[in-house]
């Protein structure tokens, strides 16, 4: 299964190169993400897309309890990969990335 960061990177890259995909992603993020990644998103998981603008930047933080369990940490320390599990886990775990992190360099000091 694809990890959260890799999925995020692919979705953003596709949206940057394909205007029709970007429009579908904004209009119906749940169906667009599910179709693009070939996964089923549980009904208990909401999918939201926000778009940065020159005057409004978004910072996306991971959930407050978003960290590896002791078992996952031990597996990573031993060199094994972390399996984020089903689509439900994909959207509820793993580090999140801010959608406009590349644009932060464009910010000017007030």
What is the tens place of the pLDDT at every residue in 11-38?
Answer: 999 999 999 999 999 999 999 999 999 9
Q: What is the pTM of this model?
A: 0.58
40: helix, strand or coil: coil
CB contact set of 97 (below 8 Å; sequence gap of 6+): 5, 8, 9, 60
Q: What is the pLDDT of residue 69?
A: 65
Q: What is the pLDDT of residue 49?
A: 96
Quick: pLDDT tens for 78-102: 554 444 444 444 555 444 444 444 4
């Amino acid at each position: 299964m694809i990890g959260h960061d890799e999925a995020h990177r692919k979705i953003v890259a596709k949206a940057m190169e394909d205007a029709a995909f970007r429009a579908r992603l904004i209009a119906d993020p749940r169906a667009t993400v599910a179709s693009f990644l070939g996964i089923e998103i549980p009904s208990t998981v909401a999918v939201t897309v926000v778009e940065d603008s020159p005057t409004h930047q978004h910072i996306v933080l991971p959930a407050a309890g978003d960290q590896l369990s002791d078992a996952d940490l031990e597996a990573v320390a031993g060199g094994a990969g972390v399996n984020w599990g089903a689509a439900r886990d994909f959207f509820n775990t793993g580090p999140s990335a801010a959608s406009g992190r590349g644009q932060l360099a464009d910010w000017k000091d007030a």
